[in-house]
Amino acid sequence: MTHIHTAKQHPVEPVDPVDAVVVGAGFAGLYMLYRLRQLGLKARVFEAGDGVGGTWYWNRYPGARCDVESMQYSYSFSEELQQEWQWSERYPRQEEILRYMNHVADRFDLRSDIQFETRVTAATYHDDSGNWTVRTDRGDAVEARFFISAGGCLSAGRVPDIPGLDRFKGKWYHTGNWPHEEVDFTGQRVGVIGTGSSGIQAIPAIARQASQVVVFQRTPNFSIPAWNRPLPLEDQQAWKADYAEHRTKALSTRSGILYEYGQRAVPEVSEDERQQEYERRWKRGGANFVHAFNDLFINKQSNDSAAEFVRHKIRGTVKDPKVAELLAPTDHAIGTKRICVDTGYYETYNQPHVSLVDLRATPITGIVSNGIRTDAATYELDSIVFATGYDAVTGALDRIDICGLGGKALKEKWTAGPRTYLGIMTSGFPNLFFITGPGSPSILTNVVVAIEQHVDWIARCLQHMQSHSLGVVDAQTAAEDEWVLRVNQVAAGTLFPTTKSWYMGANIPGKPSVFLPFVGGFGNYRVICEEVISNGYKGFAFRPSRQSVSQ
Ligand code: N01
């Protein structure tokens, strides 16, 4: 597997000790910095890119757009911010989200504490001082009381090990590391490998430029139309009038998003009613579809009814019945891989210059100088787009050499899969916090909501330490063991583990098969986190240190 790195070598610059080092300047890092400053703490954010934005800085591929609606995919921490920012479409484009994040960085004057073009490479905890030493690819070595990972769940892109890529004479790209200059596919023959959310968004956009598009599909995915549209000012104003109320309501939902969560199970309604409900949701568009009934994630038969509805739509859209059959997923329950949301994806296959190669029938054998070779044919290409996904949830952490108490490496502790308490800390690594870490709802939610909840929780914990003159916090092993068990038990009660997906680490050869996020619902999870605080940070152990957290 090829990891994507853009690290550059820089001269070493002295960095003063700080209270906290934060990795990443995406949604999580920016808000964490804001909260740390509110606590009077000195923080340094290290960011590999040369600008803020995280996912939205790197994912500049054609068609990139969020699948959560604009009014919800944004920070709630500042009433002024949420009132003043205007979104232009129902679902925000990558450029617009990036503009929003730059606005946030400027509005709250965050840049002065962010060191760009710097990748954190190692972090070591010292038990005697209770501090971390954090090292970067620029040669920095900074001492910090707290080490906070805001590196993202889907930031470690992966290009599969297909032999011959180095011989390819054309250009190749990964959707998660797209060039900053415009890529123009006009008149080109473009091969796209991968049909997850990224591929499904990119393929229609690439097909608008390219003279020929060849899609290499191993596994088809379910996709629901976005029905994206401009967002009228009146609609935004109406939403903004009750913004705080909408945000509060979202906090108690399963995904931190105001979907219509169906209250009935599939067997409770007639076949007619079921079809009408699916049709209504299809016409409304978006991931709301998979919440039509309350048993779709736990009952395979119920799930089949939703899956069959979508397959029927695919067959009705794609004119070539053979292509339609290849695009209609039959190997997994709908929603157990992240549901895709598209604009004209299935329709794209009706265009004469777009073709689909079934890699199950004819696997790729290698990349040659002029294209991709399967065991049946060679496809001549000018460019190759890898929409091949990420080493999800743990990938960004894995790329940093993190050593905790007694010099134990995090990688070693997590050999059989990640172990955390609440997805926020892992025992034996004091003062290391994860924002949307493994074992939390993270990528099953509106991730901005999940980020804010974690950042607020961490900030409250730090405030508690300040006011009680405490210097070190760690998760207790027993609490962690119980939490890991709970995460696994909740997942086992659903259809999720029946599917080989990146949620299970299944897309990375050799990665342990563990269900990575907490699937018990964001609302429930948030209540658990609140209870932990009201029970005196139950499951966490604190101790003073020679130097308590600065007041
Ligand atoms: O990645 P993926 P993604 N040969 O892992 C295929 C978020 N996101 O970047 O399933 C051939 O889902 C692989 O095939 P298979 C969202 O959470 C959100 O698309 O392994 N094919 C699969 O088809 C999403 O879920 C948004 O058989 C290979 C594809 O590559 C997550 O990011 C937009 C292969 C990878 O799909 C990841 O999505 C984009 C190989 N060797 C992303 N290796 C929105 O907000 C892999 N594949 C809309």
**379 lies in the same domain as 397:** no
Beta 371-374 vs 378-380: how paired, if at all? antiparallel
Number of domains in the chain: 2
Together in a domain, 365 and 432: no
- CA 13 remoteness from chain centre: 32
Identify whether residues 247 and 179 lie together within a single domain: yes
Same domain, 177 and 150: no
Q: Considering Cα of 284, then 290, then 518, then 444, what sign does the dihedral take?
A: negative
Domain end (from 329, 355, 386): 386
CA distances from 200 to 112, 129, 223 (A): 38, 50, 8
In a domain, 550, yes or no: no
Half-sphere exposure of 460 (CA within 13 A, CB side): 14
What CA–CA distance (Å, rounded) separates 533 from 178? 41
Q: Which atom of ligand 1 is nearest to the CA of 341?
A: 48
Contacts 24+ apart (CB under 8 A), 375-382: 379/189, 379/191, 379/214, 380/189, 381/170, 381/189, 381/190, 381/191, 381/214, 382/170, 382/171, 382/188, 382/189, 382/190
Q: Report pLDDT for 545.
A: 74
Examine the domain organization and report whether 178 and 144 are in the same domain. Answer: no
Number of the ligand 1 atom closest to the C-alpha atom of 161: 41
- Cα separation, 465 vs 548, in Å, equals 8
Q: Does residue 202 share a domain with residue 124? A: no
Tokens of 444: 């099953």
Q: How far is the C-alpha of 551 from the C-alpha of 505, rounded, in Å? A: 41
- How many angstroms does the Cα of residue 524 sit away from the middle of ligand 1? 28
- Does residue 72 lie in a domain region? yes
For residue 82, tell me if it sits in a domain: yes
Judge if 316 and 184 occupy the same domain.
Answer: yes
DSSP state of 548: P
Which residue's CA is minimally distant from atom 11 of ligand 1? 218
Global confidence as pTM? 0.96
CA of 501 to the centre of ligand 1 (A): 9
Residue type present at position 107: R
Residue 174 belongs to what domain range?
A: 165-386
Pocket of ligand 1 (CB under 6 A): 65-67, 154, 160, 175, 193-199, 201, 216, 218-219, 338, 341, 359, 387-390, 443, 502, 507
Are both 237 and 91 inside the same structural domain?
A: no
Does 7 reside within a domain?
A: no
Q: Are residues 180 and 85 in the same domain?
A: no
**What is the Cα gyration radius of the chain?**
23
Task: Kindly report, residue by residue over 29-81, the tens digit of the pLDDT.
Answer: 999 999 999 999 999 999 999 999 999 999 999 999 999 999 999 999 999 99
407: phi then psi, degrees, rounded to nearest 5: 75, 15
- Closest-CA residue, ligand 1 atom 7, reads 197
Q: What is the pLDDT of residue 220?
A: 98
542: three-class secondary structure by DSSP: strand
Residues 45 and 75 in one domain: yes
How many angstroms is it from 338 CA to the middle of ligand 1?
A: 9
Q: CA–CA separation, 430 vs 485, rounded Å?
A: 22
What distance in Å separates the CA atoms of residue 279 and residue 99, rounded to the nearest whole number? 35
CA 235 to ligand 1 centroid distance, Å: 33
According to the model, what pLDDT value does residue 14 have? 61
CA dist., res. 250 & res. 193, Å (int)? 36
**Which residue has the CA at smallest separation from atom 39 of ligand 1?**
198
List pLDDT tens digits, range 179-192. Answer: 999 999 999 999 99
Q: Are residues 229 and 249 in the same domain?
A: yes
In a domain, 228, yes or no: yes
- Residue having the nearest C-alpha atom to atom 3 of ligand 1: 389
Is 308 inside a domain boundary? Answer: yes
- Indicate the residue among 353, 386, 419 that finishes a domain: 386
How is residue 339 annotated by DSSP? P
CATH code, 399: 3.50.50.60
Give me 286's structure tokens. 């978006």
242 lies in the same domain as 372 = yes
Best CA proximity match to 53, nearest among 112, 4, 120, 101: 101
The residue among 327, 356, 386 that closes a domain is: 386
Alpha-carbon span 253 to 119, nearest angstrom: 35
Contact 102, 116 (CB under 8 A): no
Residue keyed to tokens 């070595």: 141
Q: Which residues of the chain have pLDDT under 50?
A: 1-11, 548-551
**500 in a structural domain:** no
Decide if 508 contacts 391 (C-beta within 8 A).
yes
- Residue 245 φ then ψ, to 5°: -65, -45
Cα–Cα distance measured from residue 339 to residue 219, given in angstroms and rounded to the nearest whole number: 13
Say how far apart CA 339 and CA 283 lie, in whole Å.
16
- Residue 126 is assigned to a structural domain of this protein: yes
Element (H, E) at 96: helix 94-107
Q: Encode 98-112: b = buried (16+ Cβ within 10 Å), e = exposed.
A: bebbbebbeebebbe
* Helices and strands (H, E) in the chain, number of each type: 16, 22
